Each structure stands twice: as structure tokens, then as C-alpha cells.
Chain A
């Protein structure tokens, strides 16, 4: 079997949501945190002469995120879309993605972005890996190797870990680690000449409606409130000494120095 990487990506809502968001091409885009995951997968595909499959779960508009991934060089795009999936939380999303990965079959690496720009939970990667019972390493900065033997570096604030493991394994890719490639106009044009995004529904995944959507989700977002950040501009006057003292008074009052 040839070397195979699966990348889970999401079409996110841009701009801060207020109330119920009506999805449109204008407010949807590929999650920026997924770019490094795609780039990492594509570099490894080129190195190990394999193929990359991208999967996404979401409304039909998510097909555009897949098309973008394919213009970057992804070979196969699978869209999991079903009205019953509406209201799914991260656990259900992970359940669905795990079912899709199982249906795809053999893979060596399974990648995720570290989080999404519109939900920011960072849960889907590790949960999916757990459901699939494959090892998961978060925030991978670099990795090398082949099928049997991999060296993987993961970065944290103050230190770095090096892991050794064998396929299959899964990871989220550090957002700064792999600068995504610019899409060539020719590859974009070619992808759209023969665009073929596979669409899977719940029945393709052997999942029942009660396992997914609001019904299957143990968690629920009950309220969404936009945080107001009040920024005030205060001009301080007088000589440096006076200004400094006044600044300290202000900072104390604001509780910053206390």
C-alpha cells in the first residue's frame, strides 16, 4: 500500500458571530489553523511519494475548503454533510470523523489543525484519535521518517519533546511550523476542470441520527456573548516625572499593578 495521510479540515465562519450565523461563501473560509496541517501533509507526501486525503464535516459550503485544499495539492476530498448533523458538538464531530477515517481505510498519518478560528476548542483532534485508538501528539513542529519509524518533535512554551513511534499516528500541527504554499493559478484551474468532491451522508458512515446532531451531543452552547473591550485613550501631560506618577496611579486603579 502506498503512503497515505488524512487531514481533517474545517470551513469556519469569518468575523465574530452575532446570533444565528447564516453561512454564505462570503463568510466561510478554510480554517487558517488547518493550513499548516495541510502543508505538513503535502511536504511529507512529496517526500514519501504518497497521497493525501482531506475530509471535512459541515454544510455544503465546506466543499470550498476542500477545493482549496485540493488546489494546494490534496488528492482526494470528502465532504460529510447531512441535515441531521446540525448542532453537533465536538464529541459528535469526532465520532463522525472517526467513522469516516475508518471507512477510508488504511492510513499512515492523521493530521489536524491545533484548533479552529471560530470555535477554538482544540478538542476534535485528540477526541478523534482516541475514538480510533491511535496515538496523538499535539502541536507537532517537525517530523521525519517513513512508514515504520518516525521521529516527531513537539514544542511547548519552554521546551521541546522528541518522540519516536511507528505508523499509524495522529497529530495536530503547530500553527507556525509549516508556512502554507501559495496556490499556483494552474493547479487551481486544473483542480476545477475535474473537480470531484465525494459527498458522504450518515448512511455511508453507518451512523444513526440519534448518535449525531443535537440529539447525540452531550454539550450545548447555551449563550454566546460578544466581549466588549473598552479601550480608553488618556493623554498624560506634564514632565516625565509627573507623567510617570500619573501612569502608576492609573495602572494601580485599574488593578494592573496591585
Chain B
């Protein structure tokens, strides 16, 4: 049997990433979660192997892989550590990718060449205390004064925030222009006025240094504007279309790991004289887990494949993200259930997976927002078909 969408490249990729993660990340995954510690020792090994430049061009130090490869890498890393999967997903898809897609050659040279090699870490700063799902409600400003922008922002829940060097800041360059007055300005750590806030004390993905980032009268050269002035929300949407594939793959990795643990446990734990796996009720749970995981995987690979074929993938990636995040919720819940009391203890990995899965329904667009996107796209498709008919 061969899986649809996958080629020899993807299979070898999966094996290579898995063996790297088994060797380097697996032994510390539980510990970095408990200590909420960012594992520099592993990050430094991922850099030269190009985990931070998955889709960046080779001239800029990246691996120039396709989106399907990207999804597989995030899935495999998240199978071991969702926090590091998150780090890579955000860095690659909503920091490096928009610079590759919208940046000038100079900007790419300046930022991507270091980001792709993992010498610098990227962050995506959209959310504010009063603007979450409604990104157009942000109040950060970047006001042009001669040859520079003066940036003021209070960004919260910044993935990689504690370690980020290069931040994509969404801010109003034309406060009077509403949605059309929002732009993306790249601000580097160390710029005077750049302040990293306290790390969030999170429920899951604890090894990721999610923090707030505040900018007080930060002056950045006007060359730091990404794309056209006023196109910030479009850039954000394009970035998030891609980012969703990553977050969906993260959810899938967590679900896959939970299912594996649950099946192992069910075959070894005996109650009523037989392994748990011999009880029909447990078998039903395993069937549901396996089906959710496979369905999520196919939806994600399809979305990535569509992107690689340069086809429209907004609906497909939103569906994949929605489904995979919900699936991860169900599968991790069942995995805890199969473990009984042990699943509620930090001594067993499913406890961590259960916590990690929860956030996939929230970030890069909540499940509710994804349903709105899918509903809009689905209706657009059908209604335009009707017009043709």
C-alpha cells in the first residue's frame, strides 16, 4: 500500500526527521515541558539541518522543500514535542514565508538568510489585548516620520516571543484608513524601545517561550516595511493560510503520539484477566482514534498538496486545521481515558499531549473563526457554480 500524495522523498524525509527527533528531542520532551525551558541544545542542532528554513530558497540557506514536506516535518516534530513543533511552524510559515513571499530581494537577504539557518528566530505579532479573532481591531501604530517608522505596540501571546530576533509587527501606518491602513513592519530585537514581557505560564506547549512584546517609540528604517503600505491584513491572511497547515500538522502529530501510547498501553495493561485491548469498548475507542488520525492526515496532506500544485487551498487548509485540531482534542481525551488514572498523571506522556492539544483549537484562528472561513468559501463555491449553471 502506498499513501496518496507521498513520494519517496516524503517517506525518507519522515524517517530522517523521526530518527532525529527520537534521538535528540524525545529524551528531554517531558522535562522541557515541566521546566518550561526552551531547549537551545536541540535548536542549535536543528539549525544546520535546515529545520528553520524548510521552504526558504537554497540561495538564502534554506532547504526549498514543498509544503507537503513542511507538514510532515511539523507532524513528526510535534509527535515528540508539540512546543518545538509550534516553534518551527510559526518560524517557518508566518515569519520566513511572508518575507519570502512579500519581501524585496534585499529584505530576503537581510533577514531570511539568518532565519533559514536558525541563527535567528522569527515571530509573528498580530494579537493584542483587545484584538484577537478580530485582527482588524489592532491599535498598534507605525507612523512614518521621514526615513523611518515610529512603532508603538503591545503584542500578546507571541509564540517564540522570549527568544525571537526578528518580529513581524502588524500596526496601523494610516490610522484613519481602517482595515486598509494596517501594514507589516519588521522590528528586530535590540532596537531601542523593544521590550520582551514576561513569559506566559501556559497550560500546554510550555517549552515554547510565548510572551508579550512591547514596542515603545521604536524607530525602524522605512526599508523595514514588508510589502505595500496598507496591505498588512492581506499579508497576514496569506501567511495564516499557510500557517494553518503547520498548526494542523502539529495537532496531527500530537494525536498520532497519543494514539500510539494508548494502543501500547491497552495491549499491556490487564484488567478483568485480559489486556484492555481485548475489551470491546476499548477497541471502539481505538477505532475512533485511528479514524480521526487518518482523516486529519489526509485533509492536511491534501491542503499541502493543493498549495504545492499552486491551486486555491484556503478552504482546504481551514478545513484541515479545524478538523485536525478537533481530532487532536478527541484523540488525546480518549488516550487519557484508556490510561485511566495513570493518564491523569505527569508520569505518563498522554497527560502532556492532552494539555498540548487544547491550544490547537485556539491559535492561528479559533475553531469558530475557521468555521466562518469554511462557510464563506463553501458558499462562494456553490453559489458561483449556480451562476454558471
Contact = CB atoms under 8 A, between A and B. Distances in A.
Interface stretch (B60-68, B163-171, B252-260, B358-366): B60-68
Interface residues of A, number: 18
Given A185-B13, A185-B63, A64 B50 contact: no
A184 B2 CA distance: 25
Contacts of A64: 8, 11-12
A68 B15 CA distance: 9
A71 interface: yes
Contacts of A186: 50, 53, 58, 62-64
Contact of B58 (A29, A183, A190, A192): A190
Q: How would you classify the secondary structure of chain A's contact residues: helix, strand, loop or mixed?
A: helix
Given A24-B2, A25-B2, A190-B58, A184 B8 contact: no
A18 interface: no
A26 interface: yes
Interface in A19-44: 24-26, 29
A121 interface: no
Contacts of A182: 16, 19-20, 23, 45, 49
Interface in A51-74: 63-64, 67-68, 71
Contact of B65 (A25, A67, A68, A185): A185
A99 interface: no
Among B3, B8, B63, chain A packs the most CB atoms within 10 A around the CB of B8
Contacts of B80: none
A224 to B, nearest CB: 22
Contacts of B197: none
Closest 5 CB pairs of A and B: A185-B63, A183-B16, A185-B50, A186-B63, A192-B9
A188 B63 contact: yes
Contacts of A71: 12, 16
B73 interface: yes
B51 A68 contact: no
Contacts of A184: 48-50, 63
A189 interface: yes
Interface in B102-155: none
B12 A68 contact: yes
Nearest to B116: A186
A192 B19 CA distance: 20
B338 interface: no
A192 B58 CA distance: 14
B388 interface: no
Contacts of A24: 1-2
A185 B54 contact: yes
Nearest to B11: A25
Contacts of B69: 185, 189
24 contacts: A24-B2, A25-B2, A25-B6, A26-B2, A64-B11, A64-B12, A68-B12, A182-B16, A182-B19, A182-B20, A182-B49, A183-B20, A184-B50, A184-B63, A185-B53, A186-B50, A186-B53, A186-B62, A186-B63, A188-B13, A188-B65, A189-B58, A189-B64, A192-B9
A188 B23 CA distance: 19
Interface in B53-108: 53-54, 58, 62-65, 69, 73
A185 B70 CA distance: 10
A29 B16 contact: no
A25 B9 CA distance: 11
A231 to B, nearest CB: 11
Nearest to B54: A185
A71 B69 CA distance: 15
